[in-house]
Structure 1
Amino acid sequence: MTSPGPLVVGHDGSRFSDSALAWALDHAEAAGLPVHVVRAWSISTAARPADARPGFVPGVDELGRATQAALEADTAEARAAHPDVPVTLEAVHGPADDTLLTASRGATMVVIGPRGLGGFAGLLLGSVSDRLVRHASCPVLVLRGQDDASSPRSRQIDSVVD
Structure 2
Amino acid sequence: MAKAAEKIIVGVDGSEASIEALRQGQRFALATGARLEAWGCWEYPAGYEGYLAMGVEGFAHEAEEKLERAIREAFGPERPRDVVLRLVHGSPRTELVNGSRQASLLVVGRRGHGGFAGTLLGSVSGACVAHAHCPVLVVHPPGSEGSMA
What's the TM-score, normalizing by structure 1?
0.70
Aligned match for 1:58, one of 36, 56, 59? 56
> Residue 48 of structure 1 corresponds to which residue in structure 2?
none
Alpha-carbon distance in structure 1 between the residues aligned to 2:85 and 2:128: 20
Contact 1:4–1:107 (Cα < 8 Å) also in 2: no
Aligned match for 2:125, one of 115, 123, 129? 129
Structure with greater helix share of residues: 2
> Residue 2 of structure 1 corresponds to which residue in structure 2?
3
Alpha-carbon distance in structure 2 between the residues aligned to 1:17 and 1:36: 13
Give the drift of 1:80: 4.3
Contact 2:63–2:87 (Cα < 8 Å) also in 1: yes
Give % identity. Answer: 32
Alpha-carbon distance in structure 1 between the residues aligned to 2:75 and 2:148: 21
> Residue 17 of structure 2 corresponds to which residue in structure 1?
16
> Residue 146 of structure 1 corresponds to which residue in structure 2?
142
Gaps of 5+ in 2: 47-54
Alpha-carbon distance in structure 1 between the residues aligned to 2:62 and 2:15: 17
Gaps of 5+ in 1: 46-56, 149-153, 158-162
Deviations 1:56-103 (A, max 9, x none): x732xx321332132112212434488554111122222110010121
Contact 1:34–1:85 (Cα < 8 Å) also in 2: no
Contact 2:43–2:90 (Cα < 8 Å) also in 1: yes
Q: Summarize the Cα distance change of 1:83–1:146 in structure 2 as closer, same or farther, 3 Å threshold.
A: closer
Q: Summarize the Cα distance change of 1:15–1:77 in structure 2 as closer, same or farther, 3 Å threshold.
A: closer
Give the drift of 1:7: 0.7
The CA RMSD measured in Å over matched residues stands at 2.9
What's the TM-score, normalizing by structure 2?
0.75
